[in-house]
Structure 1
Amino acid sequence: MTTIDSRYEGALRCHSSHGPSGSVLETDAPTDNQGKGERFSPTDLVATALSTCILTILGIVAERHDWPLQGATARVQKTMGSEAPRRIALLEVWISLPAGLSEQQRDVLQRAGESCPVKLSLEGAVPIRLHWG
């Protein structure tokens, strides 16, 4: 179990601390929702969690097989719904694997990425599209 402590700082900003490591991050409301947009928004963190989870799972599989994965990237685009209640309407992720991987390696990595815990947790609540390249 992991504990994260969060505190409201005022001006629509929050400060969070990751219990095990002590790492901290701050969030800000986005400009389209009364904030300054000077930090990741909470929904930005959901999008970031998806893309970094996919890359992390790919890294675990690649390290297990001693496959080169350095340089793999994921770009996530978050689309917010326009109707109330305010919510994420779509998360779309473009994953780029490094050149030099075989088709079989790419298939194994893609299957692994499709089963990342964040994606599995969000499925059914948020539409997700993954694009592999």
Structure 2
Amino acid sequence: MTTSTVEYQGNLRTQALHLQSNNQIITDAPTDNHGKGEAFSPTDLLATSLASCMLTIIGIKATDMEVDVVGTKAEVTKIMAADPRRVSEIQVRIKLKKDLDERTKKILEAAAFTCPVAKSIHPDIKQDVTFIYGHGE
């Protein structure tokens, strides 16, 4: 079954449609690559997908453990390389509102690294992930 469709709209913009939910995502080329930077770039989505996947897997594991992780946030930094132009590193800072015991931290952190996106990203792309606990915003 087809997951999505993507249509080029001109001016380095695409519109992706998730067929099951009918949700849409717009992408623009980044300003450092001839674009307007008015939306996520495709490489922004790659980097952001890593964090979103990790938080999802943390949420699944935390639910199984009856640990509340609602409000956990991730900050994502994408680092590009040239020749060829590609993502060379993704930095993710995962901020959990509560401090947790060491056992729970280890379980949730290990779970995050099992997410399908982390396992799908080419090993040449560095994944620098940091966990911060007790960050009650």
Q: Say whether the 8 Å CA contact 1:14–1:26 is kept in structure 2.
A: yes
* 1:10 matches 2:30: no
TM-align CA RMSD: 1.2
Q: Secondary structure of 2:44's partner?
A: helix
Give the residue type in structure 2 aligned to 1:21: S
Q: Which residue of 1 aligns with 2:79?
A: 79
TM, length-normalised to structure 1 = 0.94
Deviation at 1:98, TM superposition (A): 2.4
Residues 61-100 of structure 1: CA deviation (Å, up to 9, x unaligned): 111111110121111100111x221100110111122224
Q: Say whether the 8 Å CA contact 2:13–2:29 is kept in structure 1.
A: yes
* 1:132 matches 2:123: no
Give the residue type in structure 2 aligned to 1:39: A
Aligned equivalents of 2:122 and 2:53: distance in 1?
14
Q: How does 1:1-133 map to 2 (within 5 A)?
A: 3-81=3-81, 83-133=82-132
User: Percent of aligned pairs with the same residue?
Assistant: 42
Deviation at 1:123, TM superposition (A): 4.1
Q: Which residue of 1 aligns with 2:135?
A: none
Runs of 4+ in 1 over 6 A off after TM superposition: none
TM, length-normalised to structure 2 = 0.91
Residues 6-59 of structure 1: CA deviation (Å, up to 9, x unaligned): 000000000010011110011000000000000000000001100110100000
Question: Aligned pairs, how many?
Answer: 132
Aligned equivalents of 1:93 and 1:64: distance in 2?
24
Deviation at 1:2, TM superposition (A): 5.0
Give the residue type in structure 1 aligned to 2:40: F
Unpaired segments of 5 or more residues in structure 2?
A: 133-137
Deviation at 1:101, TM superposition (A): 2.0
